[in-house]
């Protein structure tokens, strides 16, 4: 229950990302670690909230850092005794170097279709 004027934040996996393809493949094989989950595009998420009497305040997206491909590689190498750091310095340095670009890029609506998660903040009407 949320009273009129209250805000909600919904953060979900993004439909159009390779993470979603991998997730569905692993779920079909019975190898997904997190159970079943749904994904939405930012437009679908906003539409769902509007249908339930919410007005959209803002929407956002975010990527994994380090990226998913690195996390998968890291996990895949553990069984053969190779251990990679969770947060290699190169990804930290790239995050700092491209932080301004990243922020400006994510302000664009189209960029939300490249992120691994999308979220929307909405207000109950």
User: 15-54 pLDDT, tens per residue?
Assistant: 998 888 888 898 889 888 777 778 999 999 999 999 999 9
pTM for this predicted structure: 0.77
Mean pLDDT value across residues 102-112 = 88
Report angle CA 111, 117, 121 to the nearest 5 degrees: 85
Helices marked H in the chain — which ranges? 18-28, 42-51, 68-77, 89-97, 99-106
Can you give the pLDDT at residue 9? 96
Measured CA to CA, the distance from residue 58 to residue 67 in angstroms comes to: 25
Percent of the chain with pLDDT over 70: 100
Can you give the pLDDT at residue 46? 97
Exposed e or buried b per residue across 88-105, where buried means at least 16 C-beta atoms within 10 angstroms of its C-beta: eeebeeeeeeeeeebeee
């Amino acid at each position: 229950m949320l009273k009129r004027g209250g805000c909600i934040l919904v953060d979900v996996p993004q439909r159009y990302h390779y993470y979603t393809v991998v997730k569905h493949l692993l779920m079909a094989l019975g190898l997904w670690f997190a159970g079943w989950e749904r994904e939405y595009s930012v437009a679908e998420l906003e539409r769902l909230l509007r249908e339930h009497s919410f007005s959209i305040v803002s929407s956002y997206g975010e990527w994994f850092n380090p990226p998913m491909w690195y996390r998968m590689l890291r996990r895949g190498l553990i069984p053969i005794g190779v251990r990679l750091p969770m947060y290699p310095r190169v990804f930290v340095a790239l995050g700092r170097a491209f932080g301004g670009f990243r922020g400006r890029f994510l302000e664009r609506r189209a960029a939300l279709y490249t992120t691994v998660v999308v979220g929307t903040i909405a207000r109950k009407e």
